[in-house]
Amino acid sequence: MKLKLTLLALALLVLAAFSPILQGVTNFDSVTLSQNLRVGGTAFVTGKTTLAGGLILTQQSATVTATFIITPTAPYIVLTSTGAYTSSTTTPIITTTAAAGQVLVVRNGNASDVLIIDGVGGTVECKANVALGASDTLTLIFNGLAWNCLAGYDNS
């Protein structure tokens, strides 16, 4: 039975790639894929989602300088710098491309330099500035207006 569903899924993917016939079709009971699934837009999942192999976040690397502004292009950002710097006070993290409920993990990839993200009154609301030492992480969620702190971890 699983082989039949896999063959059906493969046939559906081939049809979807070469024909717009499947656009808008939502009445599949289940589809099993034996390889990767890539979604070019937004994937909406209703119900429970089980990840047997774990969740892997796409990584972005960013080198920052004085009064830095972070522009997220991936959910996991590793910051590096040539010194200890503090972010912009008004726009430490860009919000124009964020969606409410979006989660962002920021890590200081420096060996010793502390990076400070302004967490008061700008696009990051954490009730205080957040100092990220070597390998420290900050997890945020976007509320529709600003990034709110969910968790911070001191890895030093």
User: Do 45 and 72 fall into the same domain?
Assistant: no
Residue 86: pLDDT band (50, 70, 90) is very high
pTM: 0.74
Model pLDDT for residues 14-54, shown as the tens digit of each residue: 545 544 445 666 666 677 777 777 777 777 778 888 878 88
Q: In this predicted structure, what is the pLDDT of residue 80? A: 94
Q: In this predicted structure, what is the pLDDT of residue 32? A: 72
Strand order in the sheet with 85-86: 85-86, 115-117, 130-132
User: Do 93 and 146 fall into the same domain?
Assistant: yes
Q: In this predicted structure, what is the pLDDT of residue 13? A: 53
Q: In this predicted structure, what is the pLDDT of residue 40? A: 77
Q: Decide if 31 is inside a domain.
A: yes
Model pLDDT for residues 102-132, shown as the tens digit of each residue: 999 999 999 899 999 999 989 999 999 999 9
* Amino acid, res. 94: I
Q: In this predicted structure, what is the pLDDT of residue 67? A: 94
Contact status, residue 68 vs residue 99, Cβ threshold 8 Å: no
User: Do 6 and 78 fall into the same domain?
Assistant: no
d(CA 107, CA 76): 8
User: Do 132 and 99 fall into the same domain?
Assistant: yes
Mean of pLDDT values over 63-82: 95
Contact status, residue 86 vs residue 67, Cβ threshold 8 Å: yes
Q: Tell me how many domains the chain contains.
A: 2
User: Do 43 and 71 fall into the same domain?
Assistant: no
Higher pLDDT: 8 or 131? It is 131
Range of the domain at 22: 1-49
Q: In this predicted structure, what is the pLDDT of residue 119? A: 92
Strand order in the sheet with 124-125: 59-63, 76-80, 103-108, 137-142, 147-153, 124-125
Model pLDDT for residues 48-65, shown as the tens digit of each residue: 888 788 888 999 999 999
1 pLDDT exceeds 50?
Answer: no
